[in-house]
Structures are given as structure tokens and as C-alpha cells.
Amino acid sequence: MLPRFYLPQVNITNDQIIISDKEIIDQLTKVLRLKTNDLFIIFAPQAEYQLALKEIGDKTAIATIIETQPAMREPGQKLTLYQSLLKKDNFEWILQKGTELGISCFVPMITNHTIVREISENKLKRYHKILTEATEQCGGRQVPELKNLLPFNQAIAAAAQQPGQKLIAWEGQTDSTLEEKLDPNVQYYHIFIGPEGGFSPQEVELAKHDNFTPVSLGNRILRAETAAIAAASLILLSQ
Ligand code: SAH
């Protein structure tokens, strides 16, 4: 597979694209050591371009468009993961693996038992970088959206207004599994995954009250990051 890079916006003049993104230039020169006429791909929200390198300097590269493909639609189903922030780098791990699986939107949350309760500027930058790199790496065509950090109640209210199926993964729900409850006839899915300490009983009640379906991911207690990836796999790979 040719190296792929994401650019949110491309400027095309006479079948050429000028790239001035520092990270991409560094990758092209220092990591991949591309030479004139070597091929690579730039993908943007509207299209994907196969390019041949024409000129490269420290700050800019010029590449000629060999082929343009309009952006294909992402897989039919759209999954939004509402995920409590987690300790260590577990939230980042979810962003990376979840992007590979095809999650379209991540909503970070603060719940009653959430330990890490803010996202620093640096962390936020890192999160966006992880999403972009994971999309480049897995051949995805759209970098997932990362929403602002929300308290649990507001996340529930926001999801409740969206179309599609609303699910909350709860280890206390012993009699109905995600697989059984998954509605194959909708396009949008929203799933809530709790922090290390789980959701509080009040949170589960609130979700039920707003017509969320509590679901089990089996009779073992999974770590939050395992639960997120298991749930995303069931939803996105099963249909
Ligand atoms: N309350 C628990 C662990 C929470 S696990 C305790 O401390 O014992 C973290 C999150 O992963 C939960 O909030 C839930 O969303 C999800 N999760 C883990 N195992 C699960 C299971 N078997 N079924 C459904 N959700 C699960």
C-alpha cells in the first residue's frame, strides 16, 4: 500500500498539490525518503489523490496528481462512542483502535466515578494526532470526529436527541447481551462505556429513563478499554 496522508484541505493548481504540512514533509523526507516521481496518497474529506513527488524542500513539497478518486462513503453504520476518560494512556488506546475499527465519532465524558477529569491542550492535540495517524494507517477515508468533553448527563441528553440505537454497556445487565439487542435496521449507533470504577446506579437509571438499552458484554468484567473495543467490533464488524 502506498503511504497515505490526511490533509483537511488541499489546494490544487494545474494538477499539482503543494504540501506545507510539517509532519507530512518530515515523513516524506526523513522517514520514507521519497525521491522525485515516487508515489504517495493524500486524502481529504472530498477526495483521494494519487500523487507523484515533483519537488521537495524543507518546508514544502510539490506533487503532481496522477489520479483522483472522489471520497467513497464510509461503511453504512455510524458508531459514536461515549467514553469516560480513563487513567494512563487507555483513552488514547481506545482512540487508536476504535479508529481502525471504523468508529466515526468519539465523545469523551466525565462520569461519577471518572478519575481523570480534564483534557489538557497538549493532550487534545495528541488525541487529534492519534486519530489522524490511525486513519492514515488503516486506509480509512474520514478522520473520526472528537467532540468536547461532556458530563455524563449532558452526553445522555445529546445522544437522546440523535437518531439511531442508544446503548449503555453495563456489567450489571446479566440477561441481555449486546449481540441480542443490536438492531440491524438502523444506521446510527450510540454506545456508552464507563470508567474503571463503572457507572453509578443513578447513571444507569438515568440512561434507562431516557430509553437507552443496557447491554451486557458477557459475564466477565472487562476493563473499560477492552469493553469499548469489544462493543465497537460487535457493532461494526457484525453486519
Ligand atoms: N464496576 C466495575 C468495572 C467497570 S468496567 C467494577 O469496578 O467492578 C468499565 C466499563 O466497561 C463499565 O462501566 C462498562 O461500561 C464496561 N464493561 C465492562 N465489562 C462489562 C460487561 N461484562 N458487560 C457490559 N459492560 C461491561
- Which comes out higher in pLDDT, residue 132 or 141? 132
Residue 66's pLDDT is: 97
Reported confidence tier of residue 239, pLDDT bands at 50, 70, 90? low
**Tens-digit pLDDT profile for residues 190-216:** 999 999 999 999 999 999 999 999 999
Mutate to test the pocket of ligand 1, among 221, 229, 233, 234 (most ligand atoms within 8 A of CB): 221
Letter for the amino acid at 130? Answer: I
Nearest CA owner, ligand 1 atom 9: 224
pTM, entire model: 0.87
CB 203 within 8 A of CB 151: no
Atom of ligand 1 nearest to the CA of 218: 22
**Cβ 86 under 6 angstroms from ligand 1:** no
Instruction: Indicate the DSSP class of residue 67.
Output: E
Name the residue of 182, 199, 222, 235 to mutate for ligand 1: max ligand atoms within 8 A of Cβ: 222
> Residue 8 pLDDT more than 80?
yes
How far is it, in rounded angstroms, from Cα 104 to Cα 95? 11
CA–CA distance, 58 with 61 (Å, rounded to integer): 8
Give the percent of the chain with pLDDT over 70.
98
| Contact 197 CB / ligand 1 (< 6 Å) | yes
CA distances in angstroms from 146 to 39, 99, 176, listed in the order given = 31, 11, 30
Nearest Cα to 20, choosing from 49, 62, 67?
A: 62
Contacts of 219-223 with C-beta under 8 Å, sequence gap 24+, read 219/174, 221/171, 222/171, 223/90, 223/196
How far is ligand 1, taken at its centre, from the CA of residue 91, in Å?
15
